[in-house]
Chains A and B, each alone.
Chain A
Amino acid sequence: MNQMTDLRKTDNRPMLRVSDLTHRVSLETDTLTILQGVSLEINRGESVAIVGRSGSGKTTLLGLLAGLDTPSEGTVELDGSVISTLSEDERAKLRARRVGFVFQSFQLLPALSALENVMLPLELAGMESPQQRARELLERVGLGERLNHTPRQLSGGEQQRVAIARAFASDPVVMFADEPTGNLDNRTGQAVSDLLMELNREQGTTLVMVTHDEHLAARCGRQLHIEAGLLTEPETAGEPEI
């Protein structure tokens, strides 16, 4: 918690500002409201855990925060841009430069080697020779020897480490993780979350993470509780000001 304070960036605009976010999906017969009137702010360098029961709308919220989807109502402002009004391509551009992702199910491309998977966002960002950076990152996550292995040849924990390396490759300012340890056993999960927190600290990234793991949630600077689409925890909890 103290470390967080030290690493806080000085820019005083919040990294994420969400106001009155509501999300509905239409089903065959009626519409389902998944999120209702969510407002929150997340500051630069903060690490926030989103917790709640299964089906409460965590993944949905994370997706909206990251601009993977557009909300039915309300606005999401990420690093100064109101992403809820951007076009899909503009959001993609934003993601390429500022956003990193870690998924519960790793989402590595099976045909690509570890190195190639990590190079992917670098290439998309137009980097000329992405190999060097990708190699460094894989070494950083302890997979320097497994560069040319494909996901099927790696264990779950190793795959998630590749995914973390890929998430940090493009030097994002904000990192989203959806249950990054959900598919891993306790010890491996521990190692992976250690790595995630470490890299987050090193890079000074803002971290927004959905997790069921109370331990991991406790390591974050703040916890947001979601229940049936409503944010129940006042967002001031345990949060020092700037």
Chain B
Amino acid sequence: MAASGKLMSVTRDWRERDVRVVLVALVIAVATVATIALFAGQLQRTLVSSASSFLAADRQLEAENGLPIPPEWLDEAEARGLETGQMVEFSTMVFGEGGFQLVSVKAVSDEYPLRGDIETQSGNQAPRDTVDRGPGPGEVWVNPRLLRLLELNIGDTLEVGNLELDITRLLIREPDGGFRLSSLAPRVMMHVDDVAGTGVVQEGSRVEYVYLFAGAEPMLEDYYHWLQPQLAPSHEWEGVQDGETFSRSLQRAERFLLLGGSLAVLLAAVAVAVASRQYALSQRDTVALLKTLGLSSRGIGGLYLRRLSLWGVVGILGGLAVALPLFWLLVSLLSDVLERPVDLYLDPAAVMPALLTAVVSLFAFAYPPIRRLRSVPAMRVLRAQPGESGREVIPDMVLAVLAVFGLVWMYAGEFTLVVALLGGLALLLVVLAMLGWGMVAVLRRVQGGGNAWRLALVGLYRHRRSSMAQMAVFAMTLMLAATLVLVRSSLLDDWQAQLPENAPNHFLINIAPDAVDDVEGFWHRQGAPLEALYPMVRGRLTELNGEPVKEVVSKDERIGALNRELNLTWMGSLPEDNQIVSGQWFGQGQTEGVSVEAELAAKLGLKLGDRLTFTIGASRVTEPVTSIRTVQWDSMKPNFYMAFPPGGGLADMPATWITSFFLGPDQKLALNDFSRAFPTVSVLEIDHIIDRIQQIVRQVTQAIEAILALILAAALVVMAAVVSATLRDRQREGALLRTLGGRQSLLVRSTMLEFALLGFVAGALGVVAAEGAVYALQAGMFEGEFRWHWQVVLPVPVIAGVLLAILGRWQLQPVLSVSPMLLLRRLE
């Protein structure tokens, strides 16, 4: 043991090439995994907080029972360090010079909004400005349409119940203006302290209390944990993630980050594996020497374990020294994109996977060959074949692969992901083995000759063992990189498709049936044609198969759709983006039945044939469920839970029409003319929401690009490490070939060709395997449709070939630049 201790020397180790390669691989492994994990954590927080403005908070607690929540709940939240705020929403009549009007009031506390800001105008012609708090007591901000309807001006007073409030600003948009089409009436925003004075809100009146919460994610979760048992069915706790519109985009972004991180883990493992295994095999002579010097096999085992641990520590420290500045750089890039400062969020737990990856792959790949060597007689160590026999390697590999996938599993915790990647890699190796076998059979026939092609092919055959090993690593690396490229492009395509450049960004609501043609004509003339128009009837789902629906549905279920009035419609044909999941869409001339949105149907436990009763005004309509369909909530088009056939249950009900359309920023002035011409039609402007979503998508895209770049860089370094792993052999061979009369140009061309071939084949295999993995991921994680990505599949093999040819050339440089004499001296 003492003797082996003296054999440890960091400086001496550092002089060994293989050791340096191992250390570089460790640094890269730790750096990529840690950077991506840290950045993913940061990005997720940033995204959630930037999407939080849609709620004006991080969480909302809605009380739909018309009663305020117990004050202790808010006290508790504040005691836990959360910010809170309050809103009261109700409808009422307001009075002005020009008459009265039904409005939808939102009364807010001083803290509102906790997230996001409010856009206002100080006069009709004044520029829009953003403020971060609502009206004070005694003030009221109103929708511009209301001013027109009531013939009022800024500075006038507005009568809300018993109170006269000063109109101080025009309310253009509120952060949580959302999509709720229920707010047909113009908006009035006032201070929550004035609500009591109006006398409008009394026991039993329809009013909704909404409470806002903001704070750190774990605190919010703890608080909800505390709160949950006390909530009544009418209480709804909402986070951004639950919002219908953004959840999908956010979820996918998160998954992408997860995938990126997992790929980083895999790549890192490959890098460390290749380097450490190469090192272990190169230690053969040293182990033999140590044995002849009389070191026991235990001593040898201990020596190498200590060495590996030492490098593990050095590599990890080096990796962190790279990761932290890199992370800081990425975060500052992120805040540039967001145009606002981002709080640096350094989660120590995020670096754990990096450390584990480095350590596990270091030991799993380097130790087994050494452990085996130490029990072999010295003579046999010296005489053993270069490389090792397959039978010995298999248990090592099984162990190592299990270790690596354990790591990915631990990192991602996502079964589909692990299986897709494992499957892709397994497929790759099977194909590779078959291909390798075939290649060897073909190449065997190639006879040597003075031309570069033949020499390259002969080289591939002669070095089949290391060629195949290199090809396997290249193919795996390229597969991982290609997977990320593919997922990225399909993710971006998907987002693009979801929110095209001119996605509808305005809704028109409350169009009277006889005004439909005029409204359509108006916008047609403005060059902003309307999407499909739908009739809308407001009604409540009251009975299910003759039983009151509230009794049928379990009390624990909080179903917002039952508490509010639903928007009912009729339509002849199924909208393009809806899909029937069971039953049949209405046939020609069919008037019976109702089609229900799938998630609501699931919550209510509806089956085909269940009879639903709706209360619409004073009438009741009962229809059987004839189909269940999915809806694209984020399509920015009117969507309906319940659809009837034309001439069906809703035929005689009072309907207004609703539609959406795209209006460019330069066309917005037309809204003024429109409002004058059609004062009763409500315009819901959601362009800022769409902008916001697009901004989020841009952020995520940038982040994805950054992570992709990081992964590609890591992949490149892995391949360079693999190429340089054979450097010594190649140099020796190159020197010898030159003494034997090989010309430099021949050497260069044959080496480049050899690598180009390797790269091309590895690239082709890798990208096909990547498509396989993406297919699995797409099916399991990203819910997109699979298609071949020719724009990626075709260039990858070529790029890989060129890249490796360059790497090969670079590796050959030392052989070419010195006289063969010197090489022979040095290599002796």
A residues at B contact (CB < 8 Å): 59, 63, 66, 68-70, 88-89, 92-97, 99, 101, 103-105, 107, 109-112, 116, 119-131, 150, 152-153, 166, 170
B residues at A contact (CB < 8 Å): 383-386, 447-451, 454-455, 458, 462-463, 465-466, 729, 732-733, 736-746, 819-822, 824-825, 827-828
How many angstroms from the CA of A119 to the CA of B745 in the assembled complex?
Answer: 20
Q: Are B740 and A111 in contact (CB under 8 A)?
A: no
- Apart from A69-B819, A93-B741, A103-B824: 19 A-B pairs, beta carbons within 8 A: A68-B819, A68-B824, A69-B821, A89-B743, A92-B744, A101-B739, A105-B828, A107-B736, A107-B824, A109-B732, A109-B733, A116-B462, A120-B740, A122-B448, A124-B450, A128-B447, A129-B447, A152-B386, A166-B740
Q: Which single member of B449, B736, B745 contacts A109 (CB below 8 Å)?
A: B736
Q: Are B821 and A124 in contact (CB under 8 A)?
A: no
Minimum Cβ distance to chain A for residue B287 (Å)? 15
Q: How many A-B residue pairs have CB under 8 A?
A: 105
Q: Are B449 and A127 in contact (CB under 8 A)?
A: yes
Residues of A within 8 A of B729 (CB): 109-111
- Among all A-B residue pairs, the 8 with the closest Cβ atoms: A96-B741, A126-B450, A123-B448, A69-B821, A95-B741, A68-B821, A63-B821, A121-B740
How many angstroms from the CA of A93 to the CA of B738 in the assembled complex?
Answer: 9
How many angstroms from the CA of A170 to the CA of B741 in the assembled complex?
Answer: 10
Q: Are B739 and A95 in contact (CB under 8 A)?
A: yes
User: What are 24 A-B pairs at a CB distance below 8 A?
Assistant: A63-B821, A68-B739, A70-B819, A88-B744, A89-B743, A92-B738, A92-B742, A93-B743, A95-B739, A99-B741, A104-B828, A105-B828, A107-B732, A107-B736, A111-B462, A122-B448, A124-B740, A124-B742, A125-B450, A127-B449, A127-B450, A128-B449, A130-B447, A150-B386
Q: Are A152 and B740 in contact (CB under 8 A)?
A: no
Residues of A within 8 A of B465 (CB): 111
Q: Are B447 and A68 in contact (CB under 8 A)?
A: no
With contact pairs A68-B820, A125-B741 given, residues A152 and B449 touching in the complex (Cβ less than 8 Å): no
Residues of B within 8 A of A152 (CB): 383-386
Minimum Cβ distance to chain B for residue A87 (Å)? 9
Residues of A within 8 A of B743 (CB): 89, 92-93, 96
How many angstroms from the CA of A93 to the CA of B828 in the assembled complex?
Answer: 24
Residues of B within 8 A of A150 (CB): 385-386
Q: Which residue on B lies nearest to A64, using beta carbons?
A: B821
Residues of A within 8 A of B448 (CB): 119-120, 122-123, 127, 130
Q: Which single member of B741, B822, B827 contacts A124 (CB below 8 Å)?
A: B741
Residues of B within 8 A of A120 (CB): 448, 736-737, 740
Residues of B within 8 A of A110 (CB): 386, 729
Q: Are A111 and B386 in contact (CB under 8 A)?
A: yes
With contact pairs A95-B740, A109-B736 given, residues A124 and B820 touching in the complex (Cβ less than 8 Å): no
Q: Which residue on B lies nearest to A130, using beta carbons?
A: B448
How many angstroms from the CA of A76 to the CA of B134 in the assembled complex?
Answer: 96
How many angstroms from the CA of A92 to the CA of B738 in the assembled complex?
Answer: 6
Minimum Cβ distance to chain B for residue A164 (Å)? 14
Q: Are B741 and A126 in contact (CB under 8 A)?
A: no
Q: Are A124 and B458 in contact (CB under 8 A)?
A: no
With contact pairs A69-B821, A103-B824, A128-B447 given, residues A112 and B744 touching in the complex (Cβ less than 8 Å): no
Q: Which residue on A lies nearest to B458, using beta carbons?
A: A123
Residues of A within 8 A of B738 (CB): 92
